[in-house]
Amino acid sequence: MSNPILQFGTSRFLQAHVDFFVADAARRDPAKALGKITVVQTTSSADSRARVDALRAAGRYPVRIRGRRRDETVDTTVECDSITEALHANEDWPLLIERVKRDVKVIVSNTADAGYALFDEDSADLLDGQRTPRGFAAKLAVLLHARFQAGAAPITLLPCELVSRNGDTLRDLVVGVARGWQVDDAFIGYLTKDCVWVNSLVDRIVSEPIEPVGAIAEPYALWAIERKAGMTLPCEHEDIVITDDLAHYERLKLLMLNLGHTMLAEIWRAREGSPDMTVLDAMRDPAFRDPLEAVWRDEVLPVFTALGQREVATDYLASVRDRFENPFLVHRLADIARNHDEKKVRRFQPVIDLARELKLDIEQKRLRGALKTA
pLDDT at position 238 is 97
Length of the chain: 374
pLDDT at position 208 is 86
Residue 252's CB: how many other CB atoms inside 10 A?
24
Write the DSSP string, 234-283. SB--TTEEEES-HHHHHHHIIIIIIHHHHHHHHHHHHTT--TT-BHHHHH
Give the Cα separation of 305 and 187 in Å (integer). Answer: 47
| CATH hierarchy code of domain 247-372 | 1.10.1040.10
pLDDT at position 46 is 86
Average pLDDT value over all residues in the chain: 95
pLDDT at position 329 is 86
Angle among Cα 285, 327, 278 to the nearest 5 degrees reads 50
Q: E strand or H helix at 51, and its extent?
A: helix 46-58
For residues 97 and 84, the answer to whether their CB atoms sit within 8 Å is no
pLDDT at position 373 is 77
pLDDT at position 374 is 65
Q: What pTM value is reported for the model? A: 0.91
| CATH hierarchy code of domain 5-244 | 3.40.50.720
The list of the chain residues with pLDDT below 70 reads: 1, 113, 374
For residues 7 and 109, the answer to whether their CB atoms sit within 8 Å is yes
Phi, psi of 253 (to 5 degrees): -65, -45
* Structural domain spans, the chain: 5-244, 247-372
For residues 198 and 158, the answer to whether their CB atoms sit within 8 Å is yes
pLDDT at position 254 is 95
